[in-house]
Chain A
Amino acid sequence: MSPVRALPAELDAVRALLADGLAQITRSTDDLEQFWIRSACARLTETDAVLAEAATGGAGLISLLVTTAVSFGVVAGVAALARLAGAGAAGVLVASGFLLVTTLRLLPALRSVLARRSVAAAARHVVPTAPARSFGLAQYGFAEVPEPLVRARVQLVSATLRQAGSANWPLPALRLAVPADPVLARLAHADLLLCQAIDCLERYLDDLAKEWP
């Protein structure tokens, strides 16, 4: 019997591995201000924030509540204003319908702006600026991408595929299911950020191998 794994437990394991890899990077490099290292650390902290958001769940419920409250408020307010202005029945209907559709179309853009700001603020807060350096290890740096990061990616992909369900594993279904489901979309974004962090580290190591400063 394989143990049943809940998504939050799995994501906690992935986040522990991420923290491990980040600690390994900050412990073993001297130049945290180097471009690739800094980008990798920022991506890793952002991945952590996205995973924490995905583990709490309720994204779909919250967006449903926000949409409901906004449409209720907009329609009630517009109808009250139109009646005060002395419009007829057709006028009230047209005005409230038009404003409702406009608001609902503008809502995703506003939400994405807010989300980008909050994620950027979180990433800015957590990036380590002063390394907690251990003795003698720093000058050697690291020779390959830290092992916990690669393992974290493997675990994250298996958790995502399990969350998608085995019926959706054929490629055309998976391609449609990932943007449609908010939890899967978060997991895919986290995976993308993690791959970017690994890619940044690989480019850093490549530059070191080519003796570039």
Chain B
Amino acid sequence: MSRDDPFSGGVAPRLRRLDQELAETVTDAQCRDWTADRPDRVGFARLGQTRRELLTAAARYRPTTRPVDGPTLLAALTAGLLVTLPLLLVIPGPIRPLPLAGIAVAGVWAALAVRAGLRRLRIRRSRRAAAGPAPIDDPYLYAGLRRRIESCAASARADRSYRRRAAATDLEYALDWLSAAQEELPRIR
């Protein structure tokens, strides 16, 4: 994976990607626990702790924008073409501030409505899909996460700012929770 080598970019975007993958895994495992498909309330809780430490580390950097997903992009393009452009052509004097702001609000609402519709459609279509294997059971997931968190921690440790060097400590806590999630320490009962 050339995308994740330590020279590919800042730590914050890498942490953002890690956080998204972890969020998907945690949600999947939690839903499996709710529907008694794979009843285990400990594994996803510990992965959630890992995610919390990752977020603490990411909060020491500047906030980054998350990448735009497919439905949002499609909804924005649709709203721009079908709502904003006709309104700009129809309304007289659309460059004055207040009409322009009104047109923008109409476009934003249309984009939000289209996105909600697309999401609902996607949920409805996935009702009959088959649920694959749980990603939380995948041992390679833990290996990859550990390697990437370690490379982030190495970059953070070499940072010039002491504030961002403290992120390395959070990432070490994240590694602790990750190994706890993988090993499932022996518990009572």
Give chain A's interface residues, CB within 8 Å of chain B: 64, 67-68, 71-73, 75-77, 79-80, 83, 89, 92-93, 96, 100, 104-106, 108-110, 112-113, 116, 144, 153, 157, 160-161, 167-180, 188, 191-192, 195-196, 198-199, 202-203, 205-206, 209
Chain B residues near A76 (CB-CB < 8 A): 97-98, 100-101
Task: Among B30, B112, B127, point to the contact of A172 (Cβ < 8 A).
Answer: B127
Task: Among A89, A180, A205, point to the contact of B95 (Cβ < 8 A).
Answer: A89
| Number of cross-chain contacts by CB at 8 Å | 144
Closest chain B residue to A209, Cβ basis: B188
12 contacts between A and B (CB under 8 A): A72-B105, A73-B101, A79-B100, A89-B95, A96-B100, A116-B55, A161-B34, A171-B32, A174-B35, A175-B28, A192-B30, A205-B188
- Nearest-Cβ distance from residue B101 to partner chain A, whole angstroms: 4
If A171-B37, A175-B28, A199-B42 touch, whether A68 touches B64 (CB-CB below 8 Å) is: no
Q: Is A93 within 8 A of B95, CB to CB? A: yes
Chain B residues near A92 (CB-CB < 8 A): 95, 100
Chain A residues near B187 (CB-CB < 8 A): 202-203, 206
Interface string of B84-119 (1 = CB under 8 A from A): 000010000001111011101100110010000001
Chain B residues near A116 (CB-CB < 8 A): 55, 59
Q: Is B59 within 8 A of A113, CB to CB? A: yes
Q: Is B41 within 8 A of A195, CB to CB? A: yes
Chain A residues near B55 (CB-CB < 8 A): 116
Q: Is B104 within 8 A of A75, CB to CB? A: yes
Task: Among A80, A168, A196, A198, point to the contact of B97 (Cβ < 8 A).
Answer: A80
Q: Is A79 within 8 A of B131, CB to CB? A: no
- Nearest-Cβ distance from residue B98 to partner chain A, whole angstroms: 6
A35 to B49, CA, bound (A): 15
Additional pairs, 19, CB under 8 Å, beyond known A175-B28, A195-B41 = A67-B112, A79-B96, A89-B95, A96-B104, A106-B63, A110-B63, A116-B55, A167-B127, A170-B126, A170-B128, A171-B131, A175-B27, A175-B31, A177-B123, A179-B23, A188-B30, A191-B30, A199-B46, A206-B186
A71 to B79, CA, bound (A): 15
Closest chain B residue to A105, Cβ basis: B65
If A75-B100, A199-B42 touch, whether A106 touches B127 (CB-CB below 8 Å) is: no
Chain A residues near B1 (CB-CB < 8 A): none
Chain A residues near B46 (CB-CB < 8 A): 196, 199
Q: Is A109 within 8 A of B64, CB to CB? A: yes
Q: Is B45 within 8 A of A109, CB to CB? A: no
Chain A residues near B189 (CB-CB < 8 A): 144
Chain B residues near A106 (CB-CB < 8 A): 63, 65
Most B CB within 10 A of own CB, among A93, A112, A116, A199: A199
Chain A residues near B23 (CB-CB < 8 A): 179
Q: Is A178 within 8 A of B31, CB to CB? A: yes
Task: Tell me the count of chain B residues lying within 8 A, CB to CB, of chain A.
Answer: 53
A202 to B101, CA, bound (A): 55
Chain A residues near B104 (CB-CB < 8 A): 71-72, 75, 96, 100
Chain A residues near B59 (CB-CB < 8 A): 113, 116
Q: Is B30 within 8 A of A83, CB to CB? A: no
Most A CB within 10 A of own CB, among B28, B31, B63: B31
A32 to B124, CA, bound (A): 47
